[in-house]
Each structure stands twice: as C-alpha cells, then as structure tokens.
C-alpha cells in the first residue's frame, strides 16, 4: 500500500476519539481513517505512510454500517465537524465509547481494575446549555452565515438553525439574529484582514430555570458601531419571548466588545443591554450562579450523573480535608463540603473563582476555600495537607510538573475526572510510577453524537516509602523509572 493509492475496506473498530481502524481485504495491514463508524465500508486514499503506520483520508462511505439509524439529521451534517457520530444509533454510540475508553485504560493500567461501563446522557437531544457561534461566510464573498466552522476549516462558517444537540431555543435565536443582520447588513470580522464588526454569538441557558443569556460579540470599530442599533437588537430578542417562540425566558442581553486578534470569545468591555449577565442553575439540590464566561459543564443533567458518580467513587470523606483541583465554579467542592471537614478548590480563572465563592455562600457552606491560581504554583504555597484529592483538569490533562507535587501528598485515594481520555492515560502512567494504581473506572456520556466522553477513575496509593521528589525534572521523569 503506497501513498496516493485508493483502497476500499471495512471499519473494524474506532479508537478514541475518532480513529477508524480499517482492514482491506487481501491486505495484511490496517489503515487508520478518521471520522468513520464501525461496520462502514469506506473508500479512502493513503495520505500518510510512516514506520509501518498507514493513514488514509476518507473519500466515500460505500456501504452504511448496521449501526446507522434512520433518522432526520441536521442540515449542517456532515460538513460541520461537531457531531461525527450523528448517524449512529445511540446504544451503539454508547457501546463504542465505552469500548474505546476501556481499551485505552487497559493499555495504560499496570493492574487489573474494574471497568464499570458507561452511563448515558439523561437528555438524548438538546442537551447543550451553551454554544458559541461565529459570524462568517461559507465561501469567500458568500452571504453572511452564523453557526459553526466547517470541519477542518478555519474560515468557513456554516449556518445551523436546526442543530439537534443545543436547546431548541438556541436555534430560534440564531435564526432571528441572522435575519436581523440580513436586513441591517454589517460585515463579519475577517480573521486575516482583521477588519469588520460581527464576531460571535454566545448563548447560555439554565436547564433548571430556562433563563437565557444572549451575548452579541463585536469588534470596537467606531464606524460600524454607529450602524449597530443596540436597542433594536435588544427589542428583537425580547420579542422572541413575547411572541411565544421560546420555551425559556430572556434573562440577559449583552453586547461584548472584543478587539483581540485571537479567535476566542472574551470581553474587553461588556454592555448589559437588558437584565443581568448571569443566571442560576440547580445541580444535585445546590444552587450555582453561572456568569457569562465562567466554566460550567455544558450538559447540566449529564453533569449531575457525572458528579454523582464522582461522589460515589470518593466515598466517605467525614473529617477529611479534600483538595478539589481545577475546581471551576466549585460544583464538586460544594457537593462534597456538607460531608467533609474542609474543601480547598484551586481554579485559574478569577471570575470563575468569584462565582465559586458566591455559590458557597449562597448554599450556606462555610468550610469551602477557593484559591485563584495555577495548580502548578498554588500547591507550593498551600500549608493545608489533603486527605483526599479530586482532579478535574482541562483537556490537556495535568501539567507534568504538577503531577509529582500531587503524588507527594501521599493521599490514600485520588479521583480523577477526565474530559480527554488520552490525557488521562498519559497522566495515569506517571501516577502509577508514583505508587498509585487504577481501581475503578466509569464513563459518562455528556456529549451524545459527538466524539467526546467523560471518564471518572478511582486511584489508590500503595503506601510506598518514597514518592517522586517534588523538584524532579520532567525530562528525568520520562527517562528514569521513579524510585519507589
């Protein structure tokens, strides 16, 4: 099999998160083809061949998989890369994701452990409580679009007003905002030329109360600003609720000015055009204030299943000091607080830490302490010692230099919640070298139709005498087997 040659084969399995393993009849070798479904017959071209590892680019699905359900798909499928498994039946998606994570953990774990399968998302559709849409076009010079990026494209934006994973209210709002700017044209912000006005539409919705936050994000261009009628925009959004087109209600409308060159949603200035820039969410009986930019799990009901699983893995924390590292709005910390001595949360985003403190007060919890800062640095300054550690890092996992510091606390048990299992598998190797072993693992599907899945694991220390030294060089850690 050589580069540039075209083959046809059957997808034997898909490894996490989207690596299809395709076998070609009469050929010994397997080829990795991304964005396919187990059981599909596919035609692909070999585009990489290195050290016995071959990769192919999908050209065509020649035969559907038996897993593919007959259902109405959203109009942006498959060009939008958001839901690559949208054609697959939900039970098959769950089985595939559980198998992917089990294979990853099996190869990373040096001990037998209990794999407890996967929990489904309580809401199969419309589960997302937050979405960031971009303004753009779907071809150079085309009409204004508002939606998600075309798969593997930095520039093309596809309008999507029938997305099945966001709350249906979002589709109504996207459609209305797009119409509004079709009638009152304003240019989108061009990422190369750095000119234009409209950047993003950020929508958030409380699953518990139906409160909706609408954020229109623009540049600060003074000329275009004169043409943007903030009041008319506000009234247009409020009219959606008045006319009964939304099931929730508009809680806040914000105009965010963002002049940064990076393609991220952030604020240089926030103008509240209506209401307030936060809403309340209820999770496992506790109240949480969620502000425009603070982290909150995007599938609220799914997050309850996740936190409940984590609580079950954590077990009895009576009289214990718990560290909740990467604590976000303090959800896990506050779920644990009533049943332990003290919880210390560490979170890098200041605004999120403020929300966590506010939430703890709101819930009448006095034994939570939230520290703003990088886990890597904060651990050096903390005088408290934990009896239990909960880790819930972002997608990249834990900084390699923070891991030895965590190991050095020598707590008996650690619960690690991961939104990217390959990062978990990498960190697990270091934790194992530090004397921990994997005991239990369970997946929770917070993201039906997409390639993502959450994993919760329980790790137990082996009570070794010497752990990894705190100031151990990371490269050294890679090279040397750590002395136990």
Q: Residues interacting with ligand SAH, by CB under 6 A?
A: 295, 297, 326-329, 331-332, 346-349, 352, 374-376, 392-394
| Residue in the structure block whose two tokens are 């998600």 | 148
Nearer to ligand SAH, 375 or 425 (CB): 375
Nearer to ligand SAH, 399 or 440 (CB): 399
Alpha helices in 249-407 (DSSP H): 300-314, 331-336, 350-362, 375-381, 402-407
What's the rounded Cα separation, in Å, for the pair 222 and 224?
Answer: 6
Nearer to ligand SAH, 136 or 328 (CB): 328
Nearer to ligand SAH, 44 or 326 (CB): 326
Give the sheet arrangement for strand 145-149, strand by strand.
157-159, 145-149, 130-136, 198-205, 211-218, 249-257, 269-275
* Min separation Cβ 441 and ligand SAH, Å: 18
Nearer to ligand SAH, 198 or 456 (CB): 456
* Min separation Cβ 19 and ligand SAH, Å: 25
* Min separation Cβ 389 and ligand SAH, Å: 13
Give yes or no for a contact between 13 and 21, defined as CB atoms under 8 angstroms apart.
Answer: yes
β partners of residue 227: none
Counting beta carbons within 10 angstroms of the beta carbon of residue 187, is it exposed (0 to 12), middle (13 to 18) or buried (19 or more)?
middle
Nearer to ligand SAH, 297 or 309 (CB): 297
Nearer to ligand SAH, 291 or 331 (CB): 331
Measured at CB, which residue is nearest to ligand SAH?
328
Nearer to ligand SAH, 180 or 362 (CB): 362
Give yes or no for a contact between 474 and 331, defined as CB atoms under 8 angstroms apart.
Answer: no
Angle, helices 168-183/230-242, rounded to nearest 10 degrees: 140
* Min separation Cβ 255 and ligand SAH, Å: 24
Counting beta carbons within 10 angstroms of the beta carbon of residue 175, is it exposed (0 to 12), middle (13 to 18) or buried (19 or more)?
middle
Counting beta carbons within 10 angstroms of the beta carbon of residue 467, is it exposed (0 to 12), middle (13 to 18) or buried (19 or more)?
buried
* Min separation Cβ 456 and ligand SAH, Å: 11
> What token pair was written down for 453?
């899945």
Nearest to 189, CA basis, from 139, 260, 237: 260
What's the rounded Cα separation, in Å, for the pair 421 and 220?
Answer: 39
Q: How would you classify the pairing of strands 436-444 and 368-372?
A: unpaired
- Scored b (16 or more CB within 10 A) or e, 382-420 reads beeebbbbbbbbeeebbebebbbbbbebebebbbbbbbb
* Min separation Cβ 284 and ligand SAH, Å: 12
What's the rounded Cα separation, in Å, for the pair 461 and 352?
Answer: 31
Residue 198 DSSP SS3: strand
Indicate which residues carry an active-site annotation: 419
Nearer to ligand SAH, 150 or 342 (CB): 342
* Min separation Cβ 24 and ligand SAH, Å: 41
State which H helix or E strand residue 227 sits in: helix 222-227
β partners of residue 400: none
* Min separation Cβ 326 and ligand SAH, Å: 3
Give yes or no for a contact between 113 and 440, defined as CB atoms under 8 angstroms apart.
Answer: yes
Nearer to ligand SAH, 221 or 347 (CB): 347
Nearest to 6, CA basis, from 22, 68, 20: 22
Give yes or no for a contact between 203 and 131, defined as CB atoms under 8 angstroms apart.
Answer: yes
CA angle 189, 172, 278 (to 5 degrees): 75
* Min separation Cβ 450 and ligand SAH, Å: 17
* Min separation Cβ 457 and ligand SAH, Å: 15
State which H helix or E strand residue 398 sits in: none
Residue 278 DSSP SS3: strand
């Amino acid at each position: 099999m050589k580069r540039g040659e075209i083959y046809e084969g059957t997808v034997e399995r898909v490894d996490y998160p989207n690596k299809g393993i395709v076998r070609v009849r009469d050929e010994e070798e397997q080829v990795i083809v991304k964005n396919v479904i187990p059981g599909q017959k596919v035609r692909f071209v070999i585009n990489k061949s290195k050290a016995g590892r071959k990769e192919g680019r999908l050209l065509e699905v020649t035969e559907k998989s038996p897993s593919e359900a007959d259902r109405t798909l959203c109009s942006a499928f498959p060009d939008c890369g958001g839901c690559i498994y949208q054609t697959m039946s939900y039970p098959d998606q769950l089985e595939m994701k559980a198998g992917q994570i089990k294979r990853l953990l099996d190869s990373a774990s040096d001990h037998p452990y209990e794999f407890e399968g996967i929990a489904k998302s309580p809401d199969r559709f419309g589960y997302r409580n937050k979405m960031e849409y971009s303004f753009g076009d779907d071809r150079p010079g085309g009409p204004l679009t508002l939606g998600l990026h075309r798969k593997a494209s930095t520039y093309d934006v596809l309008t999507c007003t029938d997305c099945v994973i966001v709350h249906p209210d979002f589709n109504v709002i996207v459609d209305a905002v797009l119409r509004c700017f079709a009638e009152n044209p304003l240019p989108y912000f061009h990422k190369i030329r750095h000119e234009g006005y409209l950047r993003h539409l950020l929508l958030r919705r409380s699953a518990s109360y139906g409160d909706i936050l609408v954020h229109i994000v623009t540049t600060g261009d003074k000329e275009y600003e004169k043409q943007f009628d903030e009041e008319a925009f506000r009234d247009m959004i409020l009219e959606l609720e008045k006319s009964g087109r939304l099931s929730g209600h508009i809680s806040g409308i914000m105009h965010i000015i963002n002049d940064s060159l990076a393609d991220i949603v952030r604020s240089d200035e926030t103008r509240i055009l209506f209401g307030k820039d936060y809403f309340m969410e209820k999770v496992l009986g506790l109240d949480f204030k969620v502000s425009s930019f603070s982290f909150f799990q995007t599938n609220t009901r799914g997050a309850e299943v996740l936190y409940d699983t984590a609580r079950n893995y954590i077990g009895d924390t009576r009289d214990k000091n718990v560290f909740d590292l990467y604590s976000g709005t303090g959800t896990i910390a506050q779920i644990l607080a009533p049943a332990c001595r003290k919880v210390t949360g560490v979170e890098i985003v200041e605004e999120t830490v403020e929300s966590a403190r506010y939430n703890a007060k709101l819930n009448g919890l006095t034994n939570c302490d939230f520290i703003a800062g990088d886990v890597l640095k904060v651990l050096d300054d903390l005088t408290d010692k934990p009896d239990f550690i909960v880790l819930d890092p972002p997608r990249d996992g834990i900084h390699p230099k923070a891991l030895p510091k965590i190991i050095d606390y020598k707590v008996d048990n650690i619960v690690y919640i991961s939104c990217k299992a390959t990062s978990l598998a990498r960190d697990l190797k270091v934790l194992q070298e530090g004397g921990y072993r994997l005991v239990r693992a369970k997946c929770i599907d917070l993201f039906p139709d997409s390639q993502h899945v959450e994993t919760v694991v329980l790790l137990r220390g082996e009570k070794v005498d010497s752990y990894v030294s705190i100031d151990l060089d990371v490269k050294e850690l890679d090279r040397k087997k750590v002395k136990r």
